[in-house]
Structure 1
Amino acid sequence: MIKRVSVFATGGTIAGIAGSAIARDYRAGQIRIEDYLEQAGGLGLEAELSGRQIANIDSADMGPAVWNDLHPAIMGALADDNCDGVIVTHGTDTLEETAFLLDLTLPATKPVVVVGAMRPADAVGYDGLRNFANAVRVACDSEAAGRGVLVVMGDRVFAARDVRKVRTRDVDAFRGFPRESVALVTPSSLDWFGAPWRGDAEARLEWHDELPDVPILYVYAGMRPDALACMVGDATRGIVIAGMGEGNMPGPVRQKLVRRVQEGLVVVRASRTDESLVDRNPEDDENGFVAARALGPAKARILLMLLVANGITDPAAIQAAFDNR
């Protein structure tokens, strides 16, 4: 039976145009979803595709304004009996953040796949159509349900909570941590490495149109505590520390943050390293800090924003949420 897949386009390199097959520079978000699906129709994909343009932007401009349109659109598709799966086309710069945001706030009842490309559509070796064909393969597979939001890049399938962009160029630009890819995919095959892991079909956190201010503070050698003044304002509800090593920071910076915790600010320690696991240390209880565990700074920020938006501000409850990701 032919599966029916709803495609929501947001722009990015996958819809980008350079004007030359060998040009270095290009403009993201130039191809409309109708034209893209017409081109994809020539691939012989065994699916009935319908498309909707949510945005057509460089993903560096991705944020709440687009998320607030994208999320209800996907929810509507998931509730539609005539939809078997969802694909979101997205730029790669912020793909991991959007995928994780959706993973936390969407039910796991049907496949939801986020896909992008590292080369514009008119470049030599364009990877977008193959990635898209792979995404269709995943979105049409009933076993993709129950796994949360998935990301397809470079013949591999990643879980949204694990995936991260690790290279600025090259089509093999994404990796997963702590799990690597959860499946291998081609336009004609799909091999899962394990059973679905989402026992809960419902969304883990409620969606909110208004998200709190949660900046990321990048820690560096010789950092002065007054750097916080530029990041934390009256409306700031939490802050994620992209710390050295296992979320470390200079003593004076830590002391300043402890005082802010006493004033109600939530502080999450993450790491600026690529493959990072930040466990709680004995000082966290005394300082009131939260350890990000396996989430990098960008995803730790997404989770913290959603937790605070849902009224979860107690450090112990926030720590439990990070532990359970």
Structure 2
Amino acid sequence: MPSAETSILVLATGGTIAGQAGSATRRDYRPGQINIADFLVEFDTLGVNARLEGKQVAAIDSANIGPEIWRELHSACAAAMRDPACGGVIITHGTDTAEETAFLLDLTLPTTKPVVVVGAMRPADAVGSDGLRNFANAVKVAADMDAAGRGVLLVMSDHVFSARDVRKARTAGSNAFDGFPRGPIALATPSTLDWLSPPWRTNEAARFAFPETFPAVPILHAFAGMDASYVEHAVAKGAKGIVLAGMGEGNMPDMVREALAEAVCLGIPVVRATRVDEGLVDPEPSDEDEGFIAARALGPSKARVLLQVLVANGITDRASAQDAFDNR
């Protein structure tokens, strides 16, 4: 546990956890309506023993998050890592892109203190709202120094996931998040925390520098009848990398394969991921000839984040990029 003098920094970005519908039963709602100061006042009524300091970074639907907010989050987290008065960081976040933010920070922050992303599936004024409980669970995790050495974590519905594994697998419901290839790495409630494995990244430095600029890396979704024009358009628009959400184990029509191989010849790294919900995309013998990178366990969204970070760090040769995907 952090000492009595340390606090937990709460960085708020909006999302459903800060959302309001104006009715306990209304389906639609407005995300990011509750300021973090007001949220923490409400949380204080639960009687959880924790010193929390809030900072409002944004108040948005997480579909609108991007490099500017990511940069502010990274800067605040990095400062917290250096601050002896800070024991850990919690980021309140919309669930639609929480996995991307968590993974980006996981790639670009050291593992010396807990960093926990948390959200909600129901707005604050809805029947059965899950925001305060999820947040209480996140406080329990962020206050536990055993949470360090595991990279960035995401807490939802009494489960703790690693940023590299977590994904939003369902559009609604308390079980919206899953992990692959691993499931939850801990079970959390406001009063209990049970780790299911020991830390595996103790005192690691950041794996990559945070990008000064984010290169253009589109995701192309493969489909029956797809032709080369989609690849050609991406190249013409200045793509610095391409992720294919392929069929099955990262497969694609022959003409798309030929166009992507030509893109590689132009110096544009190409990652084969899958549009399938779950499963590995392993390197194939033809990848070496065509220059493709296999996404392994990363889905298209997180494969895009990693490829952006690699390109921004000047890592574009296939062997080095494949190593990064193998050891994300």
Smaller-chain TM-score bracket: over 0.9
Report the alpha carbon displacement of residue 288 of structure 1 after superposing the two structures with TM: 0.5
- Measure the CA separation in 2 of the matches of 1:303 and 1:315: 14
The correspondence for 1:280, drawn from 274, 280, 283, is: 283
Equivalent position of 1:259 in the other structure: 262
Counterpart of 1:39, as a letter, is E
Equivalent position of 1:184 in the other structure: 187
- Measure the CA separation in 2 of the matches of 1:229 and 1:15: 41
Describe the SS at the equivalent of 1:47. coil
1:20-169 matches, within 5 Å, as 20-169=23-172
- Measure the CA separation in 2 of the matches of 1:292 and 1:200: 26
The gaps in structure 2 that reach 5 residues or longer are none
Identity of aligned residues (%): 62
Q: Give runs of ≥4 in structure 1 deviating > 3 Å.
A: none
Report the aligned-residue RMSD. Answer: 0.9
Q: Taking structure 2 as the reference length, what is the TM-score of the superposition? A: 0.97
Describe the SS at the equivalent of 2:83. coil
Counterpart of 1:99, as a letter, is A
Counterpart of 1:184, as a letter, is L
Counterpart of 1:323, as a letter, is D
- Write out per-residue CA displacement over residues 184-243 of structure 1, whole angstroms, 9 at most, x where no aligned residue: 000000000011011452100011231111010000011111122333335311000000
- Measure the CA separation in 2 of the matches of 1:158 and 1:132: 14
- Are the aligned partners of 1:12 and 1:90 in contact in 2 as well (CA < 8 Å)? yes
- Write out per-residue CA displacement over residues 82-127 of structure 1, whole angstroms, 9 at most, x where no aligned residue: 1001000000000000000000001100000000000000000000
- Measure the CA separation in 2 of the matches of 1:32 and 1:278: 42
The gaps in structure 1 that reach 5 residues or longer are none
1:322 aligns with 2:322: no
Report the alpha carbon displacement of residue 4 of structure 1 after superposing the two structures with TM: 1.3
- Write out per-residue CA displacement over residues 276-311 of structure 1, whole angstroms, 9 at most, x where no aligned residue: 200001110110000000000000000000011001
Counterpart of 1:94, as a letter, is T
The correspondence for 2:294, drawn from 276, 284, 291, is: 291
- Write out per-residue CA displacement over residues 115-153 of structure 1, whole angstroms, 9 at most, x where no aligned residue: 000000000000000000000000000100100000000
Equivalent position of 1:302 in the other structure: 305
- Are the aligned partners of 2:112 and 2:202 in contact in 1 as well (CA < 8 Å)? no
Does 172-181 or 229-238 show the bigger shift? 229-238
Q: Taking structure 1 as the reference length, what is the TM-score of the superposition? A: 0.98
Counterpart of 2:214, as a letter, is L
Equivalent position of 1:239 in the other structure: 242
- Write out per-residue CA displacement over residues 23-80 of structure 1, whole angstroms, 9 at most, x where no aligned residue: 0000001110000000001111121000000000000001101111111011111211
Does 47-56 or 204-213 show the bigger shift? 204-213
Q: How many residues align?
A: 325
- Measure the CA separation in 2 of the matches of 1:233 and 1:305: 18
Closer, same or farther: CA 153–143 of 1 in aligned 2, 3 Å: same
Equivalent position of 2:216 in the other structure: 213
- Measure the CA separation in 2 of the matches of 1:78 and 1:51: 16
